[in-house]
Structure 1
């Protein structure tokens, strides 16, 4: 029963992630989460997850090595929260809007809450990356190390 629940949750995250790639929401995160769950059961998912995980850690490390990157990322999260609030509250349809009024900010608070949650999640990931990688950047693994699941990303030596 547990095995089937994990598999169902993995596929559900994959489907939700695919939808969130074109809709507001953390699409890539859902895809990675789905792959992580499916990798507990399938070798193909484990093979797909390894390079994605390595790339995600590399980008997270690079994203917190300079203050301009940190500040711009935090502002990006704030913009997501602001857009979510505006989307939820709604605003009148502007005169320049070429479509019918029903297509202006569709989804209401459902969409707004996902945008707000995405901004909050972004802040959490920035804090996590800052605490884990700031001052300890990682190097990109080569393709050979991606083939081995036992070889982690290597920290750059301190100078």
Structure 2
């Protein structure tokens, strides 16, 4: 058995489980922070689903809901354009957090904010840009995978006309 084969065998058994257990808490922590927390969490669950039935049970409804959301999101051109606008918005926010502009000072629930952006810097910018790349990739994938051709959409609405 070669070294490459042994490493591959180890990763399929142990490495995927260890990586899954690392990704789940990291994904949970990333959920409120800017970044692809949900994707990281689901990736961890997907790796754990290879080893645990409870993870499979959690993953099946998540997968079903994600597919339905993706189909809904690419069903019309305005929805696709709004998603693209969201990607542009994330990129723009990343640049704003990267350049660290001064902001007015104000209080939120008694906590002072300003004159600098909270968590300003390259780390937050990188998280926002990673989210933008992930969103764009998922949008393109959804368009290719689930967007019906124009002729099929037309036929589906033709039979419903009065």
Interval of TM-score (by shorter of Structure 1 and Structure 2)? 0.7 to 0.9
RMSD of aligned C-alpha atoms?
Answer: 1.9
TM-score (norm 2): 0.78
What SS does the corresponding residue of 1:31 show, helix, strand or coil?
A: helix
Q: 1:77 to 1:43 in 2, by over 3 A?
A: same
Unaligned runs of 5+ in 2: 1-9, 150-154, 157-162
> 4+ runs of 1 displaced by more than 3 Å?
100-103
Q: Which of 1 and 2 has higher RCO (CA within 8 Å, sep 6+)? A: 1
In 2, the alpha carbon distance for the partners of 1:128 and 1:60 equals 9
Does residue 60 of structure 2 align to residue 50 of structure 1?
yes
Deviations 1:45-98 (A, max 9, x none): 011100100110110011001011000001001101110111011101324x33
Unaligned runs of 5+ in 1: 137-157
In 1, the alpha carbon distance for the partners of 2:61 and 2:72 equals 16
What are the equivalent positions in structure 2 for 1:68-87 lying under 5 Å apart?
68-87=78-97
Corresponding residue for 1:34?
44
TM-score (norm 1): 0.80
Corresponding residue for 2:159?
none
Q: Is the 8 A contact 2:21 2:48 kept in 1?
A: yes
Q: Is the 8 A contact 1:81 1:117 kept in 2?
A: no
Q: How far apart are residue 100 of structure 1 and its match?
A: 5.2
